[in-house]
Amino acid sequence: MDLGLEGRTAVVTGASRGIGLAIVRALAEAGALVIAGARGSSPELGELVRTRSVQALAVDLADPAGAGQLTALAGDRIDILVNNVGAAPARTGGFLAITDDDWQASITLNLMTAVRTTRAVLPLMLAAGQGVIVNTCSVNARLPDPAVMDYSAAKAGLASFSKSLSKEVGPHGIRVNTVSPGPVATDLWLGRSGVAATVSAATGARPEDVEHDAARQMVTGRFTRPEEVADLVVFLASDRTANVTGADFTIDGGLITTL
């Protein structure tokens, strides 16, 4: 399916691995020029820079200046913004063990990075009279979990911000939607310091058992693949969804069973 993204310019944050890397690849394959931002690169992102229309910038988006540095690389045209950067540290010590610094870090990375990057690109979109913003949210915005309490709260804030912004900028030709994955087969869950390993260290359960227990909570019995999230994001970035805004799209293998 031709999504009409040839020649569009997209900015993607958290782009060096996992969901972000998959989104960069999918957008580039669809013909977009992609500006990829992450604290560091990766061999996979480096390969995309060499072989596709992808430019990468090492940038810390937790720094308030980072958003401007990244969007400046795109020049005077940005058609698509994908706010994907985030982190979900497992809080195995409970609420009282979550410090002010932990709360601030979660809110900064999971909410304020999106606020700041959106603030940086919005004048260009308003001037053009069009644009698409897709924010990677989470099922935890609606399914709060004490194991990721601060992350859940920050993602709930991101969901509310996205809905509010969609109402403001929709009349100006700009669409804002969120994609809310459940557990995804990335390092965030399955890496050496991911959720499964952290819970394993705290409980004595094997990491693979933690993973399997999580997978069993989903109707499909498996984690979502990064490429599946990326396909949804790219579809929302296209004109095929030109009248879709202010919406949240859950991709969680049936984890959330309520309406």
Transcribe 100-168 into DSSP letters. HHHHHHHHIIIIIHHHHHHHHHHHHHHHHT-EEEEEE--GGGTS--GGGHHHHHHHHHHHHHHHHHHHH
| 31 and 112, same domain (yes or no) | yes
Identify whether 3 is part of a domain.
Answer: no
Give the count of domains, the chain. 2
pLDDT in tens, 91-137: 999 999 999 999 999 999 999 999 999 999 999 999 999 999 999 99
Q: Inform me whether the pLDDT recorded for 188 exceeds 90.
A: no
Can you tell me the mean pLDDT for 139-153? 96
- Torsions phi, psi for 224 (to 5 deg): -70, 145
Can you give the length of the chain in residues? Answer: 259
What pLDDT band is residue 205 in, cutting at 50, 70 and 90?
Answer: confident
- 80, 190: one domain: no
pLDDT at 164 over 90: yes
Same domain, 73 and 163: yes
212 and 160 assigned to the same domain: no
Q: Are residues 84 and 49 in the same domain?
A: yes
Please report which confidence band the pLDDT of residue 199 belongs to, taking 50, 70 and 90 as the band edges: confident
pLDDT at 23 (0 to 100): 98
Q: How far is CA 157 from the centre of its chain?
A: 14
Give the pLDDT mean for 155-181: 98
Query: Are the C-beta atoms of residues 116 and 64 closer than 8 Å to each other?
Result: yes
218 and 138, same structural domain? no
**pLDDT score, position 22:** 98
Q: Do 192 and 150 belong to one domain?
A: no
Residues 199, 78, single domain; the answer is no
pLDDT at 198: 86
- Considering the domain architecture, whether residues 123 and 167 belong to the same structural domain is answered as yes
The verdict on 213 and 98 lying in the same domain is no
Q: Are residues 218 and 230 part of one domain?
A: no
Catalytic (active-site) positions: 151
Query: Does residue 259 lie in a domain region?
Result: no
What's the domain range around 198?
A: 185-223
H or E element at residue 12: strand 9-13
Q: Is the pLDDT of residue 214 over 90?
A: no
pLDDT of 19-42, one tens digit each? 999 999 999 999 999 999 999 999
How far is CA 36 from each of CA 59, 79, 95, rounded to the nearest angstrom? 10, 14, 35
Confidence (pLDDT) at 34: 98
User: 65 falls in which pLDDT band (50, 70, 90)?
Assistant: very high
Q: Are residues 200 and 229 in the same domain?
A: no
Tell me, what's the pLDDT at 196? 82
